Structure 1
Amino acid sequence: MARIPFSHARTLLLSGIGLVSLMAQANDDSLIQQRANAVVSLMSFTVVPDITASNLDIGSGTNEQAALTITQLGGGATMSEGFPIYLEGTLGYSRYDPQFVFTDGTETRTIPVKWNSLSATGGIGWDFGLHRDRWGGNLVLRPIANFTLGTVASDLRIGAAFISHKTGKNLDFLDGGTLNVYGLGGSLMLDYELFSKAQDIDAELRYSYQHLQSFTGTADSIAGQAEAENLGLYLRRRAPLFSWTLLDRPVRYVMEGARTEYLGAQRGLLGFNSLNSLGLGLELDSSKYKVFVTRTRLVARYMFSHNTNGYSIGLAMSF
């Protein structure tokens, strides 16, 4: 899991979603509308396959700072060379725990609000072959249509009665509110793959865009929307590690690098405009045996950007 110090992600917490002061008049729909848009924006980081942001944890050690967790699990593959339809799927989860500071001028109280989002994204594409080199490498252009369904839930738990008593109104969206979200968009990928006994090379350049929009919720007057847009580059090389074998197949080392450039509304939302990842790991080949999983990779990654750094451990499987 990548852990990013809170001080390096302050842009998100102060401007994107923010630690806010709820004054007596702050139960206005306009403020809650802003929060609804902001929490749907968190979902935008889970709907596009992205190694650099597949598991982020922005935390704090004090009660005045918020915590954010973003987790993503997914994969994709071309079904066959004869019928090169490409299918992908991604499950995403995010949790944000802001600290709302409520005051009526005489009394102040910090109230935790827990926002959770869960999303499922699918993609259907087609491989158009561009070039096959003499080493057996294949370059394809892959347009992909993407769609997302998700839900955002808010749980005030503590402090709802206090806010209702002080303001005389009930903040329905903060206390048990939900938003159901759909997303439509697409991606365009340039993919080069080379598979051989000596080495495997995979290089991907992908532009992705999705518009997220809520369509039902507990409060009819509250709707959320966000844009997910980024440009990603992914490089990976796998090759035998000395003469080591396991499961009657060579043990391979894995080297990878990735960079995601966030565009549009996502730019700067987490306190940086881009995120980089460098990975090193091992791969076991079980293809000789009649098992569902043919390859298993364990990769340690170092993630970094402007004033930001972290780490992650990733497990991947091929079928």
Structure 2
Amino acid sequence: MLAHRFALSALALALVAPAAFAQVRPFSIAGANLQRAANGVLSLMSYSAIPDITSSSLSISSDATGNPDLLMSQFGGGFTWSRETPIYLEGAAAYSRYDPSFVASNGTETRTVPVKWTSLSGTAGIGWDFPLAEHLVLRPIFNFSLGAVASDLSIGRAFLEYKLDHDIAFLDGGVLKTYGVGGSVMLDYEAAYDTHETDIEARITNLTLHSFSDTSDAVRGQSNSTTANIWARYRAPTPWRLMDRPVRYVLECAHSEYFGDQRGALGFVRLSQVGAGIEFDSSAYDIIVTRTRLVARYVFGDNIGGMSVGLAVSF
């Protein structure tokens, strides 16, 4: 009789054990989906890591929620050391925030996991000016980039009361570290006269981003992107004067084409921009800033359009 009861108890335990195990089974996200997202965020980082005025400030919102799903901002600049030593140096720093959502499942139920990915990146370049004509130079540039994407699950954590597997563990405070190596070729035309100034740049840049260091295996990835752009600026004095110098009006236009992993990553393959503004000349005073420029720009492309305001200074 005792053996019979023991057998029944063992049978009951065997039937209950799978149910109990199912209750504590960790939620998981398909590794392939997370990997695609990691490659995707590296592609998005290319927009801010590659110097490009048309994509230096972007905010893309969800039509359904009206909340930003992607926000990117970049600032930077470059200069030639001197005519005698025509070394060209450039640098840019960028910030972006991307708000993807993942679907997690433990085999019996699924839950939506909202995440915030914040990225910081810096890109440096060194080149050399080869004169082709009086105002025209050919400028090859070597570029190097470092960046990191930090994941914040603070919003989604409230929806997950169970043990997390290693994929979701990355989403909860993980960091994806990146480095990038590439190069650019630029044609730069600069002509300054008493009545006006004209700047025109045509540039093509290729940059490959890789994850590295202790980045989680679930999100190791890479992105190879190329941007080709042309940019022009025209400045001329107005009748007004400020700080003992004429106030200038500024006209700008730019166009960029995206290739490689960038192409179509945000739903467009090209962006164009037109802008107008004013420039104040402070070179008559003994201060480090010689010019301050304020320009309003309209950016447009495939099914996208928007306004931005840029502030720039010259030294």
Task: Measure, in 2, the Cα distance between the counterparts of 1:212 and 1:83.
Answer: 31
Look up the match of 1:125.
127
CA deviation after TM superposition for structure 1 residue 169, in Å:
6.3
> Would the alpha carbon gap of residues 190 and 25 (structure 1) be closer, same or farther in structure 2, given more than 3 Å must change?
same
Task: Measure, in 2, the Cα distance between the counterparts of 1:64 and 1:284.
Answer: 37
- Secondary structure (helix, strand or coil) at the match of 2:309 reads strand
CA deviation after TM superposition for structure 1 residue 160, in Å:
3.6
Does the 8 Å CA contact 1:279/1:299 hold for their aligned counterparts? yes
* Equivalent of residue 209 in structure 1, options 206, 210, 214: 206
Look up the match of 2:34.
32
1:142 partnered with 2:139: yes
> Would the alpha carbon gap of residues 66 and 198 (structure 1) be closer, same or farther in structure 2, given more than 3 Å must change?
closer
What is the number of equivalent residue pairs in this alignment? 290
Alpha-carbon displacement from aligned partner over 1:212-246 (angstroms, at most 9, x marks no partner): 001123524531211231101001000011x2111
Q: Percent identity, please.
A: 53
Unaligned runs of 5+ in 1: 1-23, 133-137
Task: Measure, in 2, the Cα distance between the counterparts of 1:49 and 1:170.
Answer: 32
Look up the match of 1:299.
295
Task: Measure, in 1, the Cα distance between the counterparts of 2:218 and 2:273.
Answer: 41
Look up the match of 2:156.
159
Task: Measure, in 2, the Cα distance between the counterparts of 1:106 and 1:267.
Answer: 38
Does the 8 Å CA contact 1:164/1:171 hold for their aligned counterparts? no
- Secondary structure (helix, strand or coil) at the match of 1:314 reads strand
Unaligned runs of 5+ in 2: 1-25
> Would the alpha carbon gap of residues 35 and 278 (structure 1) be closer, same or farther in structure 2, given more than 3 Å must change?
same
CA deviation after TM superposition for structure 1 residue 159, in Å:
3.3
Does the 8 Å CA contact 1:66/1:99 hold for their aligned counterparts? no
The amino acid across from 2:127 in the alignment is G
Task: Measure, in 2, the Cα distance between the counterparts of 1:74 and 1:64.
Answer: 30
Alpha-carbon displacement from aligned partner over 1:4-35 (angstroms, at most 9, x marks no partner): xxxxxxxxxxxxxxxxxxxx885243332222
- Secondary structure (helix, strand or coil) at the match of 2:234 reads strand
| Structure possessing the higher radius of gyration over alpha carbons | 2
- Secondary structure (helix, strand or coil) at the match of 2:266 reads coil
Look up the match of 2:170.
173
Where do residues 1-319 of structure 1 align in structure 2 (5 Å cutoff)? 26-60=28-62, 62-63=64-65, 67-102=69-104, 109-132=111-134, 138-160=135-157, 162-163=159-160, 165=162, 171-241=168-238, 243-319=239-315
CA deviation after TM superposition for structure 1 residue 187, in Å:
0.2
CA deviation after TM superposition for structure 1 residue 109, in Å:
3.8
Task: Measure, in 2, the Cα distance between the counterparts of 1:313 and 1:180.
Answer: 31
Does the 8 Å CA contact 1:153/1:177 hold for their aligned counterparts? yes
Alpha-carbon displacement from aligned partner over 1:111-154 (angstroms, at most 9, x marks no partner): 3100111001000000000001xxxxx10000000000111111
CA deviation after TM superposition for structure 1 residue 99, in Å:
2.8
The amino acid across from 1:178 in the alignment is V
- Secondary structure (helix, strand or coil) at the match of 2:47 reads coil
The amino acid across from 2:38 in the alignment is A
Task: Measure, in 2, the Cα distance between the counterparts of 1:49 and 1:203.
Answer: 15
> Would the alpha carbon gap of residues 145 and 168 (structure 1) be closer, same or farther in structure 2, given more than 3 Å must change?
closer
- Secondary structure (helix, strand or coil) at the match of 1:217 reads coil
CA deviation after TM superposition for structure 1 residue 168, in Å:
6.4
TM-score (norm 1): 0.85
Task: Measure, in 2, the Cα distance between the counterparts of 1:279 and 1:93.
Answer: 23
The amino acid across from 1:142 in the alignment is R
TM-score (norm 2): 0.86
Task: Measure, in 1, the Cα distance between the counterparts of 2:170 and 2:177.
Answer: 13
Does the 8 Å CA contact 1:32/1:173 hold for their aligned counterparts? no
Look up the match of 1:5.
none
